[in-house]
Amino acid sequence: MTNTNQSSQTIPPTLDHVIGQQKVVAKLKVAVESSFFDGEVPLPHILLTGPPGTGKTMLSKVLSKEMASEFYEILGQTIVSPQALNGFLMSPESANSILFIDECHEMSPWIQTALYKAIEEGCVFLANEMQQKVQKLKLQPFTLILATTDPQRLLQPLRDRIKLNCQLRRYTSEDIQLILRQKIRQIGWEVEDEVLEQIANRSFGTPRLALRLMDSVRRTARSLGETNLTIQHANQTFEIEEMDSIGLSSDETQYLSILSDSVRPMRLGVIASRMGLPIEAVAKVVESNLIWLGYVDRSEQGRSLTVSGLEHIQNQRSVSSDQQRDGGQQ
């Protein structure tokens, strides 16, 4: 559990400085303005859903800056007992703090039940086994922000007590490039425009992935003793990372290749076995971007390639064949 009040270079100072997620930002700005006009009452409890790396933590920290509130955060999987939950809820020393639970779907159902009871009554109950008594402790007024990639795993009574639901979506390539430029201005790097475009095209609409890839390109440049990030550094990085033209990894390319060899839908277990990976890893990691891209169809019969998925793997094979031919001629 952490309490963060210090500013960070990577956290925009206000909602007006947030790039992308316009609808979510607009909804949050209305909540902030309403709170100020009502005498700085706590913001309504908030549920942030969406793919990993799309800004749930960042938006929560920006809100704490907007409200000049203390910010406390914890991972849902670390709240394993009523004592842990109560300790987190009792952390704020002043009113109107923001309590942020990331990956909240990892909380057990009985912890979720205790949480919505605390939200509803504004207090927690501490059991004193020695005296066989239950002590009721009132909580400071607070805003709870829950973040999850898997909202269906939250109990309906808990979701019902959240007044503000915000669905974050993947970013456009243009927004990703703006985020990269913002980061570059902050740290003073020099980067060719084409580098940012190529990174954005391989980020799957996820700022976290784009920033990580830009760090990798910089490491490549620095390993050569250079400070400017060029398209040559980027291409070398993509090759080292085993990324294709749109950012697919070797595992994702292998997945497509396996499906392309079958004329019928293929069961997930069969695909995982041929890849040598656990079924859960294939379903949660490998398939995610492929389904978002529209390259794979999932049905009761199994997985199959779409037309665009087949075209992509055929194009990649053609490129690979040309490169091998050129290499042989040299």
- Output 278 or 35, whichever has higher pLDDT: 278
Task: Name residues whose C-beta falls within 8 Å of residue 58's C-beta, 6 or more positions apart in sequence.
Answer: 10, 11, 12, 18
As to burial, measured by CB atoms within 10 angstroms (0-12 exposed, 13-18 middle, 19+ buried), residue 279 is middle
Q: What is the pLDDT of residue 187?
A: 82
296-299 and 302-305 beta bridge pairing: antiparallel
As to burial, measured by CB atoms within 10 angstroms (0-12 exposed, 13-18 middle, 19+ buried), residue 182 is middle
Task: Name residues whose C-beta falls within 8 Å of residue 316's C-beta, 6 or more positions apart in sequence.
Answer: 244, 245, 253
Gap between the terminal Cα atoms of the chain: 58
Phi, psi of 82 (to 5 degrees): -60, -35
What are the DSSP calls for 212-259, one per residue?
Answer: HHHHHHHHHHHHTT--EE-HHHHHHHHHHTT--TT---HHHHHHHHHH
- Report the pLDDT averaged over residues 96-125: 94
Q: What is the pLDDT of residue 75?
A: 97
pLDDT level of residue 232 (50, 70, 90 thresholds): very high
Give Cα separations from 34 to 130, 163, 170 (angstroms): 46, 14, 28
What rounded mean pLDDT belongs to the chain? Answer: 90
Structure tokens at 288: 């995610």
The answer on pLDDT for 322 being more than 80 is no
How many CB atoms are located within 10 Å of the residue 149 CB? Answer: 19
- Report the pLDDT averaged over residues 185-213: 93
- Report the pLDDT averaged over residues 7-29: 85
Positive or negative: CA dihedral 138, 140, 141, 146: negative
pLDDT level of residue 1 (50, 70, 90 thresholds): low
The answer on pLDDT for 199 being more than 80 is yes
Tens of pLDDT along 250-281?
999 999 999 999 889 999 999 999 999 999 99
Report the chain's C-alpha Rg in angstroms: 24
Q: What is the pLDDT of residue 329?
A: 57
- Report the pLDDT averaged over residues 223-230: 92
The answer on pLDDT for 114 being more than 70 is yes
- Report the pLDDT averaged over residues 47-61: 95
- Report the pLDDT averaged over residues 161-183: 94
Q: What is the pLDDT of residue 5?
A: 42
The answer on pLDDT for 2 being more than 90 is no
Angle at 180 (CA atoms; ends 177, 181), nearest 5 degrees: 85
How many CB atoms are located within 10 Å of the residue 323 CB? Answer: 10
> What is the percent of the chain where pLDDT is above 70?
92
pLDDT level of residue 150 (50, 70, 90 thresholds): very high
E strand or H helix at 123:
strand 123-128
Stretch among 36-50, 127-141, 226-240, 250-264 having the lowest mean pLDDT: 127-141
Measure the CA–CA gap between 189 and 269, rounded to whole angstroms. 45
Contact criterion met (CB below 8 Å) for 143 and 46: yes
Give Cα separations from 141 to 45, 70, 95, 145 (angstroms): 11, 12, 5, 13
Domains of the chain with CATH codes: 2-167 (3.40.50.300), 173-240 (1.10.8.60), 250-322 (1.10.10.10)
Structure tokens at 86: 């109560």
Residues paired with residue 242 on neighbouring β-strands, in sequence order: none
Positive or negative: CA dihedral 248, 253, 259, 262: positive
Place of tokens 């942020």: 100
Contact criterion met (CB below 8 Å) for 249 and 281: no
> What is the percent of the chain where pLDDT is above 90?
77
E strand or H helix at 200:
helix 193-201
The answer on pLDDT for 36 being more than 90 is no
Place of tokens 């002590």: 135
Contact criterion met (CB below 8 Å) for 253 and 238: no
Q: What is the pLDDT of residue 287?
A: 95
E strand or H helix at 314:
helix 307-329
How many CB atoms are located within 10 Å of the residue 126 CB? Answer: 14
